[in-house]
A and B are shown apart, each in its own frame.
Chain A
């Protein structure tokens, strides 16, 4: 499976947001815990809607959660 051209800081943001678990974040975003784990590990590219919902949960702009990797296609 090709590597995604972007990374994310969800794990760090969860920790900074009062030790939020993947399950808690998943419940608030409307996806399963496994989907949050897959997004964190770069195994799943979320839809724009889910990406915005994740950013909204942390009160951050989208680019603070997901970063395009330099040299990515």
Chain B
């Protein structure tokens, strides 16, 4: 094989390097899952350690509000940074694979949320205060969102045959 052809082949290989590199949407899915895990491990960890947010309305609203705002700011700032670093072609529009993966994640999250809400419904007659119920519902939402993100990330890594 001539040196010119070898050079060309190396050039193509270099351009294709990082086949398994993450695209913009996969990176934002990672950002979501990490930010959500950290934020709500902190939140539910405080509840389990006896924080009044587990029993009283206003401490719960303050704690949840603060953590939700911190979570949202982290995701927004992270997305802006990732967006600035991503090539323009990746930022433009989700392609058909991105959309198929997103639908698959949403379907998985829906079933987790459905089961979670059933558990909340069964739990409801046994509690007098709405705070534990609200926390139980919040846990179901967090688990559903995590299931969504995990399925999205697995589909990007392991493949999606639609």
CB 8 Å contact bits of B1-41 with A (1 = contact, 0 = none): 00000001101100110011111001000000000000000
Complex contact B11–A44 (CB within 8 A): no
Contact residues in A for B11 (Cβ distance below 8 Å)? 19
Complex contact A46–B96 (CB within 8 A): yes
Contact residues in B for A50 (Cβ distance below 8 Å)? 96
What's the least CB distance linking A68 to chain B, in Å?
A: 15
Contact residues in A for B89 (Cβ distance below 8 Å)? 23, 26-27, 32-33
Complex contact B161–A30 (CB within 8 A): no
CB 8 Å contact bits of B89-115 with A (1 = contact, 0 = none): 110000111100000000000000000
A31 to B22, CA, bound (A): 14
B162 at the interface (CB under 8 A from A): yes
A62 at the interface (CB under 8 A from B): no
Chain A's interface size range is 20 to 34
Chain B interfacial residues counted at CB < 8 A = 23
CB 8 Å contact bits of B33-71 with A (1 = contact, 0 = none): 000000000000000000000000000000000000000
Q: Which residues of B contact A (CB under 8 A)?
A: 8-9, 11-12, 15-16, 19-23, 26, 89-90, 95-98, 158-162
CB<8 Å pairs between A and B, sample of 14: A1-B161, A15-B8, A15-B9, A15-B12, A21-B15, A23-B15, A26-B89, A31-B96, A32-B23, A33-B89, A35-B98, A41-B19, A44-B161, A46-B97
For the complex of A and B, 7 pairs with smallest distance between CB atoms = A43-B159, A21-B15, A31-B95, A37-B19, A34-B23, A35-B97, A1-B159
